[in-house]
Amino acid sequence: MSGIHLHDFNCGLKAYRSDVVKTIEVYGEMHRYIPVIAKWAGFTKIGEKVVEHRPRQYGVTKFGGYERFINGPLDLMSISFVGRFGKRPMHFFGTLGILSFMLGFIILAYLTYTKTVYQEYGMADRPLFFFGIVALVVGTQLFLTGFLAEMINRNSSIRNSYLVEKEI
């Protein structure tokens, strides 16, 4: 994110070239992060100009209340997730799925071992057994979510659309 200054994203004065506006997709309250979205879209000339802030003379602020403290971080998490994993969702969901599945498998293998060696109690009598089952199921679901997201992404009509500045 070199060249993008995070400290002044909320300044109301912004200027963009028309090709930036036509290329990027902004929805919800993502306007705060247009410089980041533009950078991820391949635009490299992103800068900042110092502006003089003056106190409001007329009207009242519509800057929001408590909801902006909730929506801002949620939008940042959304934009970060889509920016990092939008083209490769299996890297996110598959990794979490495999980790969860392996945790569940290790737990159940441990419980199976203790049941066969010590034979003092039943496997299903321990809460750890149910945690292992849940970890296996959640891991499988996360992995399949990543797999389905990859298939959806692969069949997207805009999968191979590129920003072409000039044809020679």
- Local structure of 129: helix, strand or coil: helix
Return the DSSP state at 74.
H
The residue with greater pLDDT, 142 or 167, is 142
- Structure confidence at residue 161 (pLDDT): 67
Regarding pTM above 0.85, the answer is no
Given a cut of 50, whether residue 89 has pLDDT beyond it is: yes
Q: Tell me the pLDDT tens digit for each residue of 31-81.
A: 778 888 888 888 888 877 777 878 888 888 776 677 777 877 888 888 888
Spatial distance between the Cα atoms of 71 and 42, rounded to a whole number of angstroms:
26
Mean pLDDT of 102-130: 90
